[in-house]
């Protein structure tokens, strides 16, 4: 039993093979709907090993076979599961052959062959996902390369979060060096200590760009303590980091922001980047958060503020919370379901941050949302359809207020913001999944049928 799947990539074979050999490839190819997490990446495709964490403390270990290593044509890995007294019947052995065939000077056929006693219906969605990721990631890097964005050193805050881990893996597979700014004592060569209250003057020495993603989670009951943590983790750390970037003459400073800038409810108003700031706690925080980078702007640093919508990923955020409810048939709209939901797939968000780095004509606010916002009722219908489950249990309007409080409910669960990515569309930006259903099918491994 097993599977063979192939696709053609619009790049020479040497470049495609090199992508697999760089740090981050395992993370970029790991299907997000599966209960596994990359722990260790192979330091060599010839004789290294990669490790994935499994539920129950088990480890999925892929060991590369040096006898079958033939760059840039092939590498092979065999899988074992550590932590078991005996190998599980029906799962192993697993042998994966990666072949790279020349189509012509600028095109490569990538072929995955897996020999394992696993039904192809289980394997096919996983490898279809991997091939889409590979093609889209390489295409994104090729666009940046054509604009001269190659081999940069990029400092990243919040690198361990859902967005940060996806983004850092994407950047390292593109040949960039990622320097993680961390609050603990550095534990690896790619980490540098970042004291948010008193950052070191040389913190950004040797850095070509900054991606500032860090901030306490907004989700939670809107107590005074929670609101203070949300604001304090964003405004002053951003101001001080932007000042260091200005003194170090870092060319570009890209900071996370949020569509909360527009307020909790603007009705059916279409909100591009030139729309006014709204009212409410989050709008106030985001306005001050964005203004905190003014020192870098005034010093000539190109500052980009990425106003992010509702990020779609099974590894975090609302989709992680909703997926088990909908899978159990307990999902449904909130209230009357007419609230606008401005969403974005995790990989499209990665592309927006990437573009902010290389597109030197971009500065100021950018709405990081898909071009097709949907109402809450439509979102729940689509998610239920993708998961092949009903969505017949609407959540009463007062329900989220019991968990979040009245203010948290108004600004999070019941928020209605019809935001569009006007500036990205104007620049001809390519979205991987501009429509909701294909985005959810890609992220959840659910083929259309």
**Residue 132 in domain:** no
**Residue 17 in domain:** yes
Q: Within this chain, do residues 218 and 101 fall inside the same structural domain, yes or no?
A: no
The predicted structure's pLDDT at residue 88: 46
Tens digits of per-residue pLDDT, 134-154? 999 999 999 999 999 999 999
Cα–chain center distance at 102: 31
**How many CA atoms within 13 Å lie on the side-chain side of 3?**
15
Q: Within this chain, do residues 192 and 62 fall inside the same structural domain, yes or no?
A: no
Domain boundary (124, 141, 171) is at 124
**Residue 112 in domain:** yes
112 three-state secondary structure: strand
Per cent of the chain over pLDDT 70 is 96
Q: Within this chain, do residues 30 and 159 fall inside the same structural domain, yes or no?
A: no
Q: Within this chain, do residues 214 and 91 fall inside the same structural domain, yes or no?
A: no
The 8-class DSSP code of residue 34 comes to S
The answer, yes or no, to whether the previous bond of 297 is cis (omega within 30 of 0) is no
Tens digits of per-residue pLDDT, 206-232? 999 999 999 999 988 999 999 999 999
* Contact predicate 10/107, CB 8 Å: yes
CATH of the domain at 427: 3.40.50.720
Tens digits of per-residue pLDDT, 347-379? 999 999 999 999 999 999 999 999 999 999 999
Q: Within this chain, do residues 12 and 108 fall inside the same structural domain, yes or no?
A: yes
**Residue 139 in domain:** no
What does each C-alpha distance from 131 to 111, 150, 239, 250 come to in angstroms?
9, 23, 41, 35
The answer, yes or no, to whether the previous bond of 319 is cis (omega within 30 of 0) is no
The predicted structure's pLDDT at residue 85: 45
Q: Within this chain, do residues 271 and 412 fall inside the same structural domain, yes or no?
A: yes
Residue 50 tokens, joined: 């990669």
Q: Within this chain, do residues 58 and 158 fall inside the same structural domain, yes or no?
A: no
The predicted structure's pLDDT at residue 216: 94
pLDDT per residue as tens, the chain (449 positions): 678 999 999 999 999 999 999 999 999 999 999 988 889 999 999 999 999 898 888 888 999 999 999 999 999 999 887 765 444 444 457 899 999 999 999 999 999 999 988 888 888 999 999 999 999 999 999 999 999 999 999 999 999 999 999 999 999 999 999 999 999 999 999 999 999 999 999 999 999 999 999 999 998 899 999 999 999 999 999 999 999 999 999 999 999 999 999 999 999 999 999 999 999 999 999 999 999 999 999 999 999 999 999 999 999 988 998 999 889 888 889 889 999 999 999 999 999 999 999 999 999 999 999 999 999 999 999 999 999 998 877 887 666 776 788 888 888 888 999 999 999 999 999 999 999 999 999 999 998 76
**Residue 18 in domain:** yes
* Contact predicate 169/28, CB 8 Å: yes
Q: Within this chain, do residues 97 and 159 fall inside the same structural domain, yes or no?
A: no
**Residue 245 in domain:** yes
Range(s) of the domain holding residue 109: 2-124
Q: Within this chain, do residues 261 and 316 fall inside the same structural domain, yes or no?
A: yes
State the chain's mean pLDDT as an integer.
93
Q: Within this chain, do residues 174 and 291 fall inside the same structural domain, yes or no?
A: yes
The predicted structure's pLDDT at residue 177: 98
CATH of the domain at 7: 3.30.530.20
Q: Within this chain, do residues 348 and 430 fall inside the same structural domain, yes or no?
A: yes
The predicted structure's pLDDT at residue 305: 98
**Residue 86 in domain:** yes
**Residue 141 in domain:** no
Q: How far apart are CA 151 and CA 415, in angstroms?
A: 41
Cα–chain center distance at 283: 24
Tens digits of per-residue pLDDT, 66-92? 999 999 999 999 988 776 544 444 445
The predicted structure's pLDDT at residue 408: 83
Q: Within this chain, do residues 53 and 178 fall inside the same structural domain, yes or no?
A: no
The predicted structure's pLDDT at residue 207: 98
Number of domains in the chain: 2
Residue 423 tokens, joined: 């500036």
Residue 277 tokens, joined: 């700031």
Question: What are the residues facing 296 on neighbouring strands?
Answer: none
């Amino acid at each position: 039993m097993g599977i063979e799947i192939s696709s053609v990539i619009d790049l020479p074979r040497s470049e495609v093979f090199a992508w697999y050999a760089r740090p981050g490839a395992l993370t970029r190819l790991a299907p997000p709907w599966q209960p596994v997490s990359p722990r260790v990446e192979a330091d060599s495709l010839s004789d290294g090993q990669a490790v994935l964490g499994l539920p129950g403390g088990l480890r999925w270990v892929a060991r590369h076979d040096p006898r079958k290593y033939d760059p840039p044509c092939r590498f092979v890995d065999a899988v074992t599961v550590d932590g078991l007294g005996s190998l599980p019947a029906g799962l192993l052995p697993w042998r994966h052959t990666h072949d790279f065939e020349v189509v012509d000077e600028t095109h490569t056929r990538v072929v995955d062959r897996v020999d394992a006693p696993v039904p192809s219906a289980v394997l096919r969605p996983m490898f279809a996902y991997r091939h889409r990721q590979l093609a889209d990631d390489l295409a994104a890097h090729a666009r940046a390369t054509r604009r001269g964005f190659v081999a940069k050193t990029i400092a990243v805050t919040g690198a361990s979060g859902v967005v940060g881990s996806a983004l850092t893996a994407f950047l390292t597979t593109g040949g960039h060096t990622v320097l993680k700014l961390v609050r603990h004592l550095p534990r690896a060569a790619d980490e540098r200590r970042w004291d948010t209250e008193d950052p070191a003057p040389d913190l950004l020495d040797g850095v070509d760009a900054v991606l500032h993603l860090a901030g306490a989670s907004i989700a939670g009951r809107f107590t005074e303590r929670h609101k203070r943590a949300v604001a304090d983790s964003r405004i002053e750390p951003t101001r001080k980091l932007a000042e260091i970037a200005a003194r170090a003459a870092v060319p570009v400073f890209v900071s996370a922001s949020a569509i909360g800038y527009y307020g909790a409810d603007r009705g059916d108003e279409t909100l591009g980047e030139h729309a006014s700031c709204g009212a409410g706690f989050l709008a106030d925080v985001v306005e001050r958060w964005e203004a905190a980078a003014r020192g870098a702007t005034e010093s000539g640093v190109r500052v980009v503020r990425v106003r992010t919508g509702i990020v779609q990923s099974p590894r975090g955020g609302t989709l992680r919370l909703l997926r088990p409810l909908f899978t159990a048939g307990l999902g449904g709209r909130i209230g009357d379901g007419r609230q606008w939901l401005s969403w974005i797939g995790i990989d499209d968000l990665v592309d927006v941050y990437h573009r902010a780095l290389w597109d030197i004509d971009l500065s100021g606010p950018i709405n990081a949302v898909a071009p097709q916002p949907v109402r809450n009722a439509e979102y729940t219908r689509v998610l239920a359809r993708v998961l092949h489950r009903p969505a017949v249990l609407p959540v009463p309007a007062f329900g989220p207020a019991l968990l979040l409080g009245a203010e948290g409910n108004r600004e999070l669960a019941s928020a209605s913001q019809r935001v569009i990515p006007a500036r990205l569309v104007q620049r001809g930006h390519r979205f991987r999944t501009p429509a909701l259903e294909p985005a959810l099918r890609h992220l959840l491994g659910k083929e259309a049928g």
